[in-house]
Structure 1
């Protein structure tokens, strides 16, 4: 009985985390689209502005990946099978690698470039 309730709670919390993923990506995409349209309509071809838009959207995606991983962990936390654990491990590895590369790109592109001279 308790395990069933815990399983149902984990499923509900996992669903809430997945809803957060959708909301975070949608918000980030809307923000990036708004900024992109504003930039395009300003008739300026400014690489720094495009980089800023990309960095902002990448940060939203990074946050969404964290919520997605949390949803998977929550769903697998209650009485997992070995297959569940294996799938979670594969998903966690893929999302961790994506997070690592995206965070590395954000750090690299967010750093101000030193002027040569």
Structure 2
């Protein structure tokens, strides 16, 4: 029974890792497409539009990091050794820190965007 659970958990973890890789690939393709359009369009949007592309990519990378962490937890969930627990702790710490700093930057940029929109509304309206 335990062997069956380990096998299924391994397959599930592999599927979750695949989902993370797919999310990253799609997010990068979308960011490349958006950046390409900005380069070709060359309108007056400038930094705001490129910042939007970067932030959308950052949001999807944060989601993919969560998926990758979930896959690591699944791999370690069934009868872990102390070595596996230590590796999971290191990986979880690194991924959580990455996610924290990505989220902090996303929120900071969202505040900047909100201030710019407020300023444009008050100046234009």
> CA–CA distance in 2 between the matches of 1:85 and 1:101?
24
More helix by share: 2
Structure of higher CA gyration radius: 2
**Which ranges in structure 1 are unaligned for 5 or more consecutive residues?**
none
> CA–CA distance in 2 between the matches of 1:17 and 1:35?
27
Query: TM-score, normalized by length of structure 2?
Result: 0.88
> CA–CA distance in 1 between the matches of 2:82 and 2:115?
48
Deviations 1:48-90 (A, max 9, x none): 0011001100001000000000000001000000000010001
Q: CA RMSD in A?
A: 1.4
Q: Does 1:22 align with 2:6?
A: no
**Which ranges in structure 2 are unaligned for 5 or more consecutive residues?**
120-125
Number of equivalenced pairs: 115
Q: How does 1:97-116 map to 2 (within 5 A)?
A: 97-111=97-111, 112-113=114-115, 115=119
